[in-house]
Structure 1
Amino acid sequence: MIPREGELRLIPIDAIEVLNPRERNNKIFEEIVGNIKAIGLKKPITVTSRPGPDGEERYLLVCGEGRMKAFKALGETSIPAMIVNVSDDDAFIMSLAENIARRHCRAVELLAGIQRLRDQGYDKSTIAEKTGLSTDYIQGILQLLGNKEDRLLTAVEAGKIPLYVALAINGAGNDDKAIQIALQEAYESGKLKGKQLINAKRLVEKRQALGKTLGGYRIKNKRDAGVTSSSLVRSYQREVERQKLLIKKSDFTQQKLMFVIGALRSLLAEESFSTLLRAEGLDTLPTFLAERVWPVGVST
């Protein structure tokens, strides 16, 4: 039987194909399972019908992957579903739009979705209209995608740096001076604040050392020599500062330890205090402290 548009039906879970799969946080998934187990399914999933290879009815999942997997985890074989009549491309777009609206999708999932829409021939205006994102945002993302700026893209979608700054870094290429000027201008204009500035600087250093793509290594050329040298100097200076900070922390910790040891020696010299400790069964110390409080250590 051909399902009607907008018809609510109970369909077999095994007959559903996930068009736009997502990975989920285990804790969030467990909460979905717990909610459905306690109060049932409040909102049906959405699917579109397709004929199977043997003539049996199959379905493409438009939205509700988490609910469907939770139903399956609870041992259910069927799930309530709302049937819509859309093409494969429109089903994918609807699925992507829902993920974007929820804003729980990972950066790589969102970017892969936008890239797929571009590869299918949609222009920036159409993608923006279908996903609910601004045209400027889509244009910027497509520019970074075209230049294979994986590091900048994931940083933008993770909220570590604004899109404006990512585009400025991309426009500066490998010119370290131009990049620093772009970051300075963004900071002074208020578009790059606090932690974002630190994130941007770290990102630039990784991009210069490892390249634009994640996990890749950039082949250096002569034009990179100045950038590499300045990066090494900055790395050395940061390491020196880090070592100085560690020494300060170590000295401060040692001072606190000496104070504790001195205080214990004074307290344990008081017979009344020692008697009280023995009465409470607290007359021993850990070996580390005992060896420092008494000439001959008494351990627990």
Structure 2
Amino acid sequence: MAGQPEQAVELIQIDRITIANPRVRNKRSFRELADSISELGLKKPITVTLRDGSDGPRYDLVCGQGRMEAYQALGQTEIPAFVIDAEPEDRMVKSLVENCARRHHGAIDLLHDIEGMKQRGHVEADIARKTGLSLEYVRGVTSLLEKGEQRLLRAVESGNMPVSVAVAIADADDSMVQDALQQAYEQKLLRGRKLLIAKRLVENRRRRGKGLRVAMPKRTKTLSSGALVRAYKESTDRKRLLVRKADSTRSRLIFMTEAFRNLLDDENFVTLLRAEKLETLPRNLADRIQRGEAA
């Protein structure tokens, strides 16, 4: 696909685009992207391939899932797109390249793209050559993916654990995992903060399993005007109750301060306290009594 002439931008119906390999997006990053598009517009069109459908032209998404979903969230039905002609393998590589270049890509995205290329028949050496990754890295990632080691994969992708250490942990049984960590420490592959992260990861992997649970975004309910008024009223009632409690506490504190002040004016009571070694008071209470006496 290198040297391909620049494509013209076309306006395409979003509902005619299919996402072949959807990914779960970080909600905060998604909001930032949607806000940026709303204020500045779409900086870069998405990329799709054209295919024939029973009801007219259809498109497969190559790059730009986040941009397309943000466009949909903003109420748009059409989106600018580059329409390219590419084979499935080329589409996968292009998607993988974008994942490599993305500043804040998901920790598992790149790794699953490697898995997709493996499933399409690419050998590990071919994947390493096309992606610019080392053969050792590709082999390690492939091994971890086959074993479902998503926790270890996330640690590898985030840079908290070398792929060789992750593979050693995946290959070891529960009784030998600590030995793998000790060996990584002795070889200076895991030190300091990374070692603590690795120990915590191993414990979570033992208790919760190899996979990661993906939290589904909760649906927000649309509030009616009546529900909004009720929520405002409930909030006001809670604040009034808090004020009443604060006033009651203040009154009790004033009463206790005056009571202690009167007792401390009695010399016999003070002598008794000294005899029982109870002559000290909490600092805040003592300060209040002294301020009262000074006044």
8 Å contact from structure 1 (residues 149, 213) kept in 2 = yes
User: How many residue pairs align between the two structures?
Assistant: 225
Q: For structure 2, which runs of at least 5 residues remain unmatched after alignment?
A: 214-279
Pairing 1:39–2:40 present: yes
Specify the code of the residue in structure 2 equivalent to 1:127: I
8 Å contact from structure 1 (residues 268, 274) kept in 2 = no
- Other structure's SS at 2:82 match: strand
Specify the code of the residue in structure 2 equivalent to 1:262: P
Instruction: Measure the CA separation in 2 of the matches of 1:107 and 1:169.
Output: 19
Bigger Rg over Cα: 2
8 Å contact from structure 1 (residues 5, 84) kept in 2 = no
Specify the code of the residue in structure 2 equivalent to 1:21: P
Matches within 5 A, 1:31-110: 31-54=32-55, 56-102=56-102, 104-110=104-110
What's 2:134 paired with? 134
8 Å contact from structure 2 (residues 62, 91) kept in 1 = yes
Instruction: Measure the CA separation in 1 of the matches of 2:23 and 2:107.
Output: 11
Instruction: Measure the CA separation in 1 of the matches of 2:193 and 2:293.
Output: 51
Q: CA deviation at 1:148?
A: 4.1
Pairing 1:264–2:284 present: yes
CA 1:174–1:21: 2 relative to 1, 3 Å? same
CA 1:208–1:34: 2 relative to 1, 3 Å? closer
The C-alpha deviation readout for 1:76-125, integer Å capped at 9, x for no partner, is 22211112110123213322331232153433433332222112111112
What's 2:144 paired with? 144
What is the TM-score of this pair, normalised by structure 1?
0.65
8 Å contact from structure 1 (residues 97, 132) kept in 2 = no
Specify the code of the residue in structure 2 equivalent to 1:201: K
Calculate percent identity across the aligned residue pairs: 45
Instruction: Measure the CA separation in 1 of the matches of 2:119 and 2:63.
Output: 22
Instruction: Measure the CA separation in 1 of the matches of 2:117 and 2:76.
Output: 34
- Other structure's SS at 1:107 match: coil
CA 1:271–1:14: 2 relative to 1, 3 Å? closer
Q: For structure 1, which runs of at least 5 residues remain unmatched after alignment?
A: 216-259, 276-300
Instruction: Measure the CA separation in 1 of the matches of 2:121 and 2:66.
Output: 29
Say what the alpha-carbon RMSD is for the aligned residues. Answer: 2.8
- My pick for the range that moved more, 266-275 or 189-198, is 266-275
- Other structure's SS at 2:201 match: helix
Q: CA deviation at 1:50?
A: 0.9
Instruction: Measure the CA separation in 1 of the matches of 2:186 and 2:160.
Output: 18
Q: CA deviation at 1:63?
A: 0.8
- My pick for the range that moved more, 148-157 or 191-200, is 148-157
8 Å contact from structure 2 (residues 99, 109) kept in 1 = no
What's 1:153 paired with? 153
CA 1:128–1:58: 2 relative to 1, 3 Å? same
Matches within 5 A, 1:111-190: 111-176=111-176, 179-190=177-188
Instruction: Measure the CA separation in 1 of the matches of 2:72 and 2:171.
Output: 48
Instruction: Measure the CA separation in 2 of the matches of 1:12 and 1:212.
Output: 40
- Other structure's SS at 2:282 match: helix
What's 1:25 paired with? 26
- My pick for the range that moved more, 99-108 or 139-148, is 99-108
